[in-house]
């Protein structure tokens, strides 16, 4: 038996683990949970530090999506006219832009969570999953005031608050879980393939143009084979936008089946993302 094998056998006998070794998945998730205070503190600190660099500070949490909605509304308001324009177009567009901002910021932030914190990863022992989780929590904190502004604008343009608006609580919870799964997947991918960070803007743009941010997909699918609608019904971001509009806008139906579709997406994405990220735990800080 070689010396290395003997040492490994003795280490195992005395309960010693290799430095930097990946723990079991249950143990790993327990470590992440035990550092929840650190994760939330990191999310709050980064949210404040990123906005305090600007003269208007935290106001940019609301100004960024508002300016995006204004630009898209101006451009597509001229392009889409007449019967092809969705009902209650302003509120329709605001819901789409504000909601998609939460997804895009989570995907982009998750992709940079490890590679932009290389010194932290290489110098301190902690479960690396804390970093993408903190990024998604930061984006959730940014999304909360944006959600309030979305409610306010919907009321200004004719929406009437009712008890169904509380459905946003489970919807935002599912959306956060889904975004966390996406962030975990992109966190690992960009560690191994740095060039992927250059492609993410194109992925964001493709999702923007296919999810129905500024148009009603049902009108485009009219007259096409039913298989197209059946496939599109599983578009996760379209599910989120349709449910949000169904809750807030009286002239838009609330598609109950989309709750199931998006719940499946959320569970699958966070499960796959968690295992996929955990599998490479030993490589973070070495491949960066």
| Count of CB atoms situated within 10 Å of the CB of 194 | 12
148 found inside a domain: yes
279 found inside a domain: yes
Q: How far apart are CA 196 and CA 147, in angstroms?
A: 30
Q: Which residues span the domain enclosing 248?
A: 31-283
The pair of structure tokens assigned to 220 is 């485009």
13 found inside a domain: no
Burial class (CB in 10 A: 0-12, 13-18, 19+), 197: middle
12 found inside a domain: no
Distances (CA, A) of 120 to 92, 116, 124, 209, 219: 42, 9, 6, 37, 50
Burial class (CB in 10 A: 0-12, 13-18, 19+), 262: buried
Q: How far apart are CA 18 and CA 187, in angstroms?
A: 24
Distance of CA 257 to the CA centre of its chain: 21
| Count of CB atoms situated within 10 Å of the CB of 87 | 12
Yes or no: say if 241 and 95 are a contact pair by the CB < 8 Å rule. Answer: yes
50 found inside a domain: yes
Q: How far apart are CA 173 and CA 165, in angstroms?
A: 14
| Count of CB atoms situated within 10 Å of the CB of 183 | 31
- Which of 285, 279, 288 shows the shortest CA–CA distance to 24? 279
Q: Which DSSP symbol is given to 23?
A: P
Distance of CA 27 to the CA centre of its chain: 25
pTM over 0.85: yes
* Cβ neighbours of residue 58 closer than 8 Å, sequence gap 6 or more: 48, 51, 52
Write down the pLDDT at residue 218.
75
> Per-residue pLDDT for the chain (288 aa), expressed as one digit of tens each?
455 555 445 445 545 455 556 788 999 999 999 999 989 998 988 887 776 666 556 676 777 777 777 887 777 766 665 556 777 888 888 999 999 999 999 999 989 888 888 778 877 788 899 999 999 999 999 999 999 999 998 898 888 888 999 999 999 999 999 999 999 999 999 888 877 778 888 888 889 888 888 888 877 777 778 888 888 899 999 999 999 999 998 888 888 999 999 999 999 999 999 999 999 888 876 655
3 found inside a domain: no
Three-class SS state of 80: coil
Q: How far apart are CA 257 and CA 264, in angstroms?
A: 11
Write down the pLDDT at residue 138.
92
The pair of structure tokens assigned to 16 is 């010693």
Write down the pLDDT at residue 143.
92
2 found inside a domain: no
Write down the pLDDT at residue 13.
55
75 found inside a domain: yes
Three-class SS state of 273: helix
Distances (CA, A) of 110 to 53, 106, 128: 21, 6, 12
* Cβ neighbours of residue 281 closer than 8 Å, sequence gap 6 or more: 22, 23, 28, 127, 128, 129
Q: Total structural domains in the chain? A: 1
- Which of 104, 103, 90, 107 shows the shortest CA–CA distance to 214? 90
């Amino acid at each position: 038996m070689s010396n290395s094998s003997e040492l490994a056998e003795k280490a195992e006998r005395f309960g010693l683990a290799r430095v930097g070794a990946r723990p079991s998945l249950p143990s790993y998730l327990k470590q992440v949970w035990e550092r929840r205070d650190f994760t939330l503190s990191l999310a709050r600190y980064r949210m404040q530090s990123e906005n305090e660099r600007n003269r208007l500070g935290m106001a940019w949490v609301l100004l960024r999506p508002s300016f995006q909605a204004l630009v898209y509304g101006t451009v597509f308001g001229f392009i889409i006219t007449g019967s092809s324009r969705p009902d209650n177009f302003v509120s329709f567009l605001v819901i789409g832009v504000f909601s998609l901002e939460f997804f895009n910021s989570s995907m982009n932030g998750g992709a940079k969570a490890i590679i932009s914190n290389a010194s932290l990863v290489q110098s301190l022992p902690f479960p690396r999953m804390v970093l993408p989780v903190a990024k998604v929590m930061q984006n959730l904190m940014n999304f909360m005031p944006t959600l309030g502004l979305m409610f306010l604008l919907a009321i200004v343009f004719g929406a009437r608050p009712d008890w169904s608006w509380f459905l946003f609580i489970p919807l935002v919870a599912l959306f956060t879980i889904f975004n966390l799964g996406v962030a975990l997947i992109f966190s690992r991918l960009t560690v191994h393939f740095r060039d992927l960070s250059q492609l993410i803007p194109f992925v964001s743009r493709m999702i923007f143009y296919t999810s129905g941010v500024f148009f009603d997909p049902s009108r485009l699918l009219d007259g096409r084979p039913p298989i197209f609608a059946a496939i599109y019904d599983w578009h996760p971001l379209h599910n989120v936008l349709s449910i949000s509009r169904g809750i807030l806008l009286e002239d838009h139906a609330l598609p109950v089946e989309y709750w199931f579709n998006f719940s499946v997406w959320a569970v699958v994405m966070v499960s796959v993302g968690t295992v996929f990220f955990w599998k490479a735990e030993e490589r973070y800080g070495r491949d960066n």
